[in-house]
Amino acid sequence: MNPMIDAFWRAAVYCLHPRVIALSFLPLAVMVAVALGLGYFFWNDAVDFINLQLTSWTAMDWLGQWLDRLGLAGVRLVLAPALLLFASIPFIVVASLLMVAVFMMPAMVSLVSERRFAGLERKKGGGFWGSLAWSLGSTLAACLALLVSVPLWLIPPLVLILPPLIWGWLTYRVMAYDALAEHASSQERHLLFKTHRLKLLTIGIASGYLGALPSVLWASGAMFIAMAPVLVPLAIWIYMLVFAFASLWFAHFSLAALAQLRALPAVPAEPAQAVVAPVPMEPRSAPSAGAGDTRL
């Protein structure tokens, strides 16, 4: 079976494990607490700022009149909160990914290792600080790419393509490293990244598009502001489960690739050529003068 497909269905089955479901609630609690805290202290100011920007927009008067003719005058009241919720989606996705990487990824790798690769040696080629530096650098690059690509989101097809691609790249960078940090040496990790880069990137992009699915609930919370306190935490929890699935997918694929790499037969060394010592030649003695020699 294709290693990516094999790792996919194994990850889907492991998502039903009670330990995985239980672990998903810890980052959920952290994310909901942070979201509620930010909303309590900054929600009203942010909404007022967006309303101020909308009122200074000349096209807003035309949009308001158009909504009034359609009998949707109340939409203007929730437009600013809806835009604020939409704008927070990329940052919630990135934060959910990092929460899963910190709180769930080590447990996911341990679960896969215990059940499938118990005999795989742990060479600990990536420590905590290395993983932290790698994750922070990748996150900064992804956030910069998100900010630069925001104007392109106004083009309808690109808003459905660019953010999941960026999330997928970040998922690949963070989870592929963490999946091998405990078991692979640094040389093995670099070799696996080089050999399976396209497959790992494909898994990351597929996970990024799966992570875009909870945005439907997020959009519903933006459209129905009264239900946002229920729909938004539900969407965050689904984000956690999606990235937990992604972490299991990376763990299954990466550890299987590592086991296969170590199972390859070692290349035998070339036999040393025998060195033949030169045989010393006996010196020839000068011919002695015989009895029959005549002297002139």
Query: What CA–CA distance (Å, rounded) separates 196 from 217?
Result: 34
Of 198 and 284, more confident: 198
Of 130 and 77, more confident: 130
Give the N- to C-terminal CA distance of the chain in Å, as an integer: 100
Residue 12's pLDDT is what?
Answer: 93
Task: State the burial class of residue 113 (Cβ atoms within 10 Å of its Cβ: 0-12, 13-18, 19+).
Answer: middle
Residue 114's pLDDT is what?
Answer: 92
Tell me what the mean pLDDT of segment 202-220 comes to: 77
Tokens at 98, concatenated: 């990092």
Q: What is the DSSP letter of 126?
A: S
Range of weakest confidence among 29-33, 81-85, 202-206, 290-294? 290-294
Query: What CA–CA distance (Å, rounded) separates 164 from 90?
Result: 9
Query: What CA–CA distance (Å, rounded) separates 263 from 77?
Result: 64
Tell me what the mean pLDDT of segment 249-263 comes to: 94
Query: What CA–CA distance (Å, rounded) separates 133 from 223?
Result: 38
Question: Among all chains, which residue has been given the structure tokens 């929890």?
Answer: 237
* CA-closest candidate to residue 85, choices 142, 16, 35: 35
Of 120 and 218, more confident: 120
Range of weakest confidence among 51-60, 85-94, 104-113? 51-60
Phi first, then psi, for residue 239 (nearest 5°) are -55, -45
Instruction: Give exposure, 40-49, as e/b (b: 16+ Cβ within 10 Å).
Output: eeeeeebbee
* CA-closest candidate to residue 178, choices 271, 112, 242: 112
Question: Among all chains, which residue has been given the structure tokens 């308001």?
Answer: 64
Q: How far is CA 155 from the centre of its chain?
A: 26
* CA-closest candidate to residue 235, choices 95, 40, 78: 95
For residue 192, the one-letter residue type is: L
Instruction: Place 161 in a pLDDT band, splitting at 50, 70 and 90.
Output: confident
Distances from the Cα of 290 to the Cα of 283, 287, 293, 296, angstroms? 20, 9, 5, 15
| C-alpha radius of gyration, the chain, whole number | 32
Phi first, then psi, for residue 72 (nearest 5°) are -115, 40
Tell whether the model's pLDDT for residue 291 goes beyond 80: no
Residue 259's pLDDT is what?
Answer: 94
Q: What is the DSSP letter of 227?
A: G
| Domain ranges, ordered by start, for the chain | 3-262
Q: Evaluate whether 76 touches 212 at the Cβ level (below 8 Å).
A: no
